[in-house]
Structure 1
Amino acid sequence: MSGAASGADGASARFRRPTWRDPRLLTGLLLVLASVAGVTAVVAAADRTEPYLAAARDLEVGQAVGADDVVAVDVRLQEAAGLYVPADHAVAPGTVATQRVAEGQLLPGTSLGTADRLDRKPVAVEVAHALPAEAGPGAHVDVWVAGQKPTGRGHEPARLLLPAAEIASVRDQETALGAGRGTVVHLLVTEEPMGDLVDALGNDARVTLVWNPAGAP
């Protein structure tokens, strides 16, 4: 009888409902709480937004940029945060746009600088031919030039002078005496091809712009 009673006591001890004082229950509870806290911290970090500067209007290359040209927006960038301008960055006097930023876009860290750091300058090119709708600011065009023949009659075969030049702006204007409408395209040109392009424009060469959907080389 005593052996049976002892076995019954052992079985009841094994199957006894755990209490708050049971160290196994407390350890399990702590593990669950730690897991929940870790997941909550990860989710909170992923959902955290921070203020960065965005363009309040289209910013063209060389344009002066002031406090009224930018606006603070809350975004979640995570690993890409270092590529853009934080909202606490003060726009210093003399700041210009060194690359085009469309309205509403975040300002890349490389988009602001001073005029002396510009490596491209806008050159006005008058074209008589129609441009596709895609050839707007920020798009790229190939510049083909056909110089006049020595006889003054006709033009030489066209040659590619400047591949994938970025368009800064496009303006329609009336031609002389109101004979029609032409288009003035401001192209961003580096120093190296600048002389050839200015020379072609000054010698009445025929300039043709061809939209380059592939963009900059």
Structure 2
Amino acid sequence: MTTTLERPSRDTTATLSPPRTATRLRRPTWRDPRLLVGLVVVAASVALGSWAVAAAGHTDAVYAADAVLTPGDRVSAQDLRAVEVRLGSGTDDYLLAADGVPEDAVVLRTVEPGELVPASALGAADDLTLRTVAVPVTSGLSDRIVAGAAVDLWHVPPAPSATGAQDAPVAEPGPAVLVEGVTVAEIDEAGGTFVAGGPVTIHVLVASDDLATVLGAVAGEGSIAVVPVGGAG
């Protein structure tokens, strides 16, 4: 006798999950806050980049010295030349060509040839604390001693006079420094050329406190030696 086993029927409707409805992506609109924030970020980046490029290429016309300018010199636009430079935020530190040269401007500190003229290097004559002193020099001058150079002034006493053999030797004072680091304003030379041992008058700028010392040495006995400061000229 054959027994037939019947398999239980499966309810297909119970096991199958219901179909899902596909979700549609909504197209962003102008009212979407994320879109607005993105546009703001892009616009700010473009503006910042444009500003950086423009700032990097911006130059200012600034005055530079054509020749050395020494304290006490009166300066005008004819003594300067305008150059284009990138100063950034330092425009207030220099003399801008657009502002011109102040009337009756006097140089307060040495400005080398080609150097940009600092605004603080010019002022009124009353602001100048230096005085020009003419110093005669009989010894040869170093070729480093030029207008604008810094020098030291030394007083060299006269040579001792000859004495008899029976006299005791007299100790003579040696050379002594008068002033250090004064600026050469001008050099007057005899005959137009420097000659070792020839007469030369050098004009130096001396502070008011040192005037008496320098003038006393110039009027007294002995000579004045002019020694360039290291790197001068």
Alignment TM-score > 0.5, same fold: yes
- Are 1:82 and 2:92 an aligned pair? yes
- Change over 3 Å in CA distance of 1:5–1:142 after alignment to 2: same
Which of 176, 180, 184 aligns to 1:167? It is 184
* Residue in structure 2 matched with residue 140 of structure 1 by the alignment: 150
Which of 35, 60, 68 aligns to 2:70? It is 60
Q: Contact (CA 8 Å) 1:53, 1:73: kept in 2 or not? A: yes
- Change over 3 Å in CA distance of 1:128–1:149 after alignment to 2: closer
Q: Contact (CA 8 Å) 1:121, 1:190: kept in 2 or not? A: yes
Q: Contact (CA 8 Å) 1:146, 1:155: kept in 2 or not? A: no
* Residue in structure 2 matched with residue 94 of structure 1 by the alignment: 104
Per-residue Cα deviation, 1:117-173 (whole angstroms, up to 9, x for no partner): 321122222334444444333332221112337859996311111011122233443
- Structure index of larger Rg: 2
RMSD: 3.5
- Are 1:188 and 2:205 an aligned pair? yes
Q: Contact (CA 8 Å) 2:66, 2:114: kept in 1 or not? A: yes
- Change over 3 Å in CA distance of 1:91–1:34 after alignment to 2: closer
- Are 1:120 and 2:130 an aligned pair? yes
Q: Contact (CA 8 Å) 1:20, 1:26: kept in 2 or not? A: no
Letter in 2 for 1:161: L
Distance in 1 (CA, whole Å) between partners of 2:43 and 2:17 is: 44
Letter in 2 for 1:107: V
Q: How many residues were matched structurally?
A: 207
Per-residue Cα deviation, 1:63-113 (whole angstroms, up to 9, x for no partner): 222232233333221232222122233435433222222333222112222
Task: Tell me the TM-score normalised to structure 2 length.
Answer: 0.70
* Residue in structure 2 matched with residue 203 of structure 1 by the alignment: 220
- Are 1:51 and 2:61 an aligned pair? yes
- 1:188 Cα deviation from its structure 2 partner: 0.9
Aligned to 2:97, the other structure's residue is in SS state: coil
Aligned to 2:83, the other structure's residue is in SS state: strand
Distance in 1 (CA, whole Å) between partners of 2:51 and 2:108 is: 39
Distance in 2 (CA, whole Å) between partners of 1:207 and 1:80 is: 43
Aligned to 1:110, the other structure's residue is in SS state: helix
Distance in 1 (CA, whole Å) between partners of 2:93 and 2:55 is: 19
Which of 38, 41, 65 aligns to 1:28? It is 38
Distance in 2 (CA, whole Å) between partners of 1:174 and 1:80 is: 46
Distance in 1 (CA, whole Å) between partners of 2:19 and 2:201 is: 106
Aligned to 1:41, the other structure's residue is in SS state: helix
Aligned to 1:192, the other structure's residue is in SS state: helix
- Change over 3 Å in CA distance of 1:150–1:199 after alignment to 2: farther
- 1:189 Cα deviation from its structure 2 partner: 0.3
Task: Tell me the TM-score normalised to structure 1 length.
Answer: 0.74
Letter in 1 for 2:47: A
Residue segments in structure 1 that go unaligned for 5+ positions in a row: none
Aligned to 2:119, the other structure's residue is in SS state: coil
